């Protein structure tokens, strides 16, 4: 997932328990849904993380796709086709309203660490346009994160709608074109007789086992595959959801795997694992292959394309998760009035600014953590763990809703729902726990400090903060929604 998914505009929340309306809908083909899903999930950003495994990256991409991506897609499709209103409505109906708040809070809170990691990638990529040596500079990375984020807040707080089409354009400019080019150049690089930097023999199909620490980077794939619950809202637009939705998801899964795996392999062919940067790995690979073909002048151009796509995606989605949290909090009184305040453009500026202050502190950590790749990984794993808390709640809610309301109208019924939820829950929990293990790729370091930072970020932000909001909640925090809010809440 290149950017956090936003609640689709065509998914207004209905009254509790109401099935979807039977009004005429514009049907889409299952192939179109597969392509929509692929565009919202696929990205080049995680490629360097898996490239360190070489050929074994195929295995490490396929396993999370089977045990997490597929269960998430099928389970959320049933929920979306029976209960409008997204994750908050599903978890509230299946478990409780406080649990629903925890779920929607995690959807928002993951962005607090997601944007520093996304903009860390932007900083390292931009360095190859200016000076490649800057890619390893924590100070440079911190400055880029702060400038880009606060610029995004300023644009979003003005209610600008002109950036709405940037994400779709970004898929072509920043993912498809660079991805295809990287793979073609990688193949040509090998075709010239150059030796692959990573061994490509059958014995390397499985990752070398040296304990859990050797597989920790797989956690990043769960973040890459997240957001499927947002696409599930389109299940009602299929003529035959029971047959077509699984087809769409299997096709999307195949396309996503190709987009993830092939660029990761291409990077592993040209950049040795011990030299690979988790933030600048894509640019390292382009720089290496362009150098081999005497075309290094193209490296900055590819860098600009990747940066433009990432910044466009950030601007497009910056206000989305916080808006969903705001609407629910105003109705239920989950946030204090200060955070519920809107500016003259109707934008939740106080939430964005508060989020920005935390993001600034996180950005400064890049300047003090010696290795930029280590900082990037820490923030990525915290992002993933916070988001996985939401998925744990979603899987539990799905099982409870099937048992509590077996006859509730659903446009799609997931096969073997309890089994799917069990697999998805176990995979999510395992990924969450594995994230607390320091990766072996980062060598020696303070295990205690790593655990303190990751646990403090993931559990503190994902559980403690929303718990305090619920604990300190006052009746006066509840705000009667306006007519416009009722129309979209």
Q: How do the residues of the chain divide into helix, strand and coil, expressed in percent and rounded to 5? A: 75, 0, 25
Phi, psi of 6 (to 5 degrees): -105, 150
Q: How many CA atoms lie within 13 A of 381 on its CB side?
A: 27
Distance CA 322, CA 220 (A): 23
> By C-alpha distance, which of 172, 125, 171, 167 is closest to 148?
125
Give me the torsion for CA of 287, 289, 292, 294, rounded to 10°. -60
User: Taking the CA atoms of the chain, what radius of gyration do you get in angstroms?
Assistant: 22
Q: Domain ranges in the chain? A: 30-473
Secondary structure of residue 241 in the 3-state scheme: helix
Phi, psi of 201 (to 5 degrees): -105, 165
Q: How many CA atoms lie within 13 A of 407 on its CB side?
A: 0
Q: Which residues contact 398 (CB under 8 A, 6 or more apart)?
A: 75, 78, 79, 90, 94, 414, 417, 421
The yes/no answer on whether domain 30-473 falls in CATH 3.30.365.10 is no
Distance CA 85, CA 100 (A): 11
Whether 181 and 302 have beta carbons less than 8 Å apart is answered as: yes
- The tens place of each residue's pLDDT in the chain, 489 residues long, gives 554 444 333 333 333 344 444 445 578 888 888 887 787 777 888 888 889 889 999 998 999 999 999 999 899 889 988 887 788 999 999 999 999 999 999 988 888 888 888 888 899 999 998 998 898 888 899 999 999 999 888 877 776 554 445 555 656 777 788 989 999 999 999 998 889 999 888 888 888 776 666 677 788 788 888 877 776 767 878 888 888 888 888 888 888 899 899 999 999 999 998 888 888 889 999 998 898 888 889 999 999 988 887 887 777 667 667 777 888 888 888 989 888 888 887 778 888 888 889 889 888 888 777 677 778 888 888 989 999 999 999 999 999 999 999 999 888 899 999 999 999 999 999 999 988 888 775 555 677 888 888 888 888 988 999 999 999 988 888 876 554 444 444
pTM of the model: 0.82
Tokens of 290: 């362009």
Q: What is the longest distance spanned by two Cα atoms in the chain?
A: 71
Whether 160 and 16 have beta carbons less than 8 Å apart is answered as: no
Q: How many CA atoms lie within 13 A of 414 on its CB side?
A: 27
Distance CA 98, CA 165 (A): 35
């Amino acid at each position: 997932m290149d950017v956090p998914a936003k609640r689709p505009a065509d998914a207004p929340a209905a009254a509790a328990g109401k099935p979807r309306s039977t009004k005429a809908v514009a049907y889409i083909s299952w192939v179109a849904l597969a392509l929509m899903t692929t565009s919202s999930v696929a990205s080049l950003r995680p490629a360097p993380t898996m490239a360190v495994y070489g050929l074994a990256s195929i295995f490490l991409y396929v396993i999370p796709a089977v045990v997490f991506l597929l269960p998430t897609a099928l389970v959320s499709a049933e929920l979306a086709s029976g209960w409008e209103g997204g994750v908050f409505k599903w978890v509230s109906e299946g478990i409780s309203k406080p649990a629903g708040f925890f779920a929607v809070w995690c959807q928002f809170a993951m962005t607090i660490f997601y944007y520093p990691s996304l903009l860390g990638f932007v900083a390292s990529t931009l360095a190859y346009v200016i000076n490649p040596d800057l890619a390893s500079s924590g100070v440079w990375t911190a400055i880029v994160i702060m400038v880009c984020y606060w610029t995004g807040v300023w644009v979003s707080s003005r209610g600008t709608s002109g950036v709405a089409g940037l994400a779709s354009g970004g898929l072509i400019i920043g993912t498809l074109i660079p991805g295809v080019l990287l793979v073609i150049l990688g193949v040509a690089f090998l075709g010239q007789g150059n030796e692959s930097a990573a061994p490509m023999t059958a014995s390397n199909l499985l990752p070398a086992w040296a304990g859990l620490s050797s597989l920790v980077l797989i956690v990043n794939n769960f973040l890459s595959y997240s957001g499927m619950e947002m696409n599930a809202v389109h299940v009602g637009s299929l003529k035959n959801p029971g047959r077509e939705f699984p087809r769409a998801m299997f096709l999307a899964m195949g396309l996503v795997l190709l987009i993830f795996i092939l660029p990761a392999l291409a990077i592993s062919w040209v950049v040795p694992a011990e030299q690979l940067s988790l933030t600048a790995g894509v640019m390292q690979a382009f720089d290496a292959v362009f150098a081999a073909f005497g075309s290094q002048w193209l490296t900055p151009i590819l860098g600009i394309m990747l940066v433009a796509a990432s910044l466009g995606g950030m601007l497009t989605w910056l206000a989305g998760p916080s808006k969903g949290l705001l609407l629910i909090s105003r109705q239920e009184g989950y946030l204090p009035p200060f955070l519920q305040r809107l500016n003259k453009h109707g934008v939740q500026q106080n939430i964005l600014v508060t989020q920005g202050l935390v993001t600034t502190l996180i950005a400064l950590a890049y300047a003090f953590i010696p290795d930029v790749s280590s900082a990037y990984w820490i923030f990525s794993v915290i992002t993933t763990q916070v988001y996985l808390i939401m998925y744990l709640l979603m899987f539990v809610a799905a099982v409870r809703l099937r048992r509590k309301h077996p006859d509730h109208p659903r446009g799609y019924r997931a096969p073997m729902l309890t089994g799917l939820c069990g697999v998805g829950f176990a995979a999510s929990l395992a990924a969450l726990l594995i994230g607390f293990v320091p990766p072996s790729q980062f060598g020696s370091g303070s295990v205690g400090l790593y655990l303190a930072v990751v646990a403090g970020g993931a559990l503190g932000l994902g559980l403690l903060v929303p718990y305090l909001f619920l604990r300190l909640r006052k009746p006066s925090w509840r705000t009667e929604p306006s007519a416009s809010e009722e129309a979209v809440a």
